[in-house]
Amino acid sequence: MRCIEAVIVHIIHGDKILLHYKKRGHGAGKWNGVGGKIEPGETPEMCAHREAMEEMGVDIKNVELAGKIKFHDVMGEDWFVYVFRAEIHGTPAESEESYPRWFPVTEIPYEDMWEDDRYWLPLVINNLNFDAEFWFQGEKMQRFVLSAWKNQRNE
């Protein structure tokens, strides 16, 4: 099974996080950070910038790698995902792909997100770094391993 490389970017401003509701494609019907597949010749950081512009019409700044996740058998595919935290430059706008919305970090709609998000997203919000592996069967998470550490750069 081939492994798809992708990014997820979480834009955090103070006590709010910008999520988007996917209208189509992978993750349709769920809230998530912006992101998508890395295209040939692109670095993960380049992909993060492109996806933020395509999905919400914004540029991002202070892009920082927060974690790496290996997903096994999500809808029959394996994924390796670079997770970034970033700040926004611009005003998010709805696109054909997504509808953006700011949420207080205390009111994140985990029940309408991928099941794994509740385990690693709090680490991103709390400025921790992590590595994780999640095993799925379709869209249902089966098990996971996760390790986290304090982000030394921002102490």
Give CA–CA dist 112/31, Å, rounded.
Answer: 6
- The pLDDT assigned to 76 comes to 82
- The pLDDT assigned to 74 comes to 84
**What does the chain come to in residues?**
155
Ranges of the chain whose pLDDT falls below 50:
155
CA separation (Å) from 77 to 58, 94, 98, 101, 139? 29, 28, 22, 28, 11
Percent of the chain with pLDDT over 90: 81
- The pLDDT assigned to 122 comes to 97
Domain residue ranges in the chain: 3-154
- The pLDDT assigned to 86 comes to 97
CA separation (Å) from 31 to 62, 100, 153, 155? 23, 9, 29, 30
- The pLDDT assigned to 153 comes to 61
Give CA–CA dist 146/133, Å, rounded.
Answer: 7
- The pLDDT assigned to 30 comes to 94
CATH, domain range 3-154: 3.90.79.10
- Which of 82, 98, 92, 108 minimizes the C-alpha distance to 15? 108
- The pLDDT assigned to 143 comes to 94
pTM: 0.93
- The pLDDT assigned to 114 comes to 93
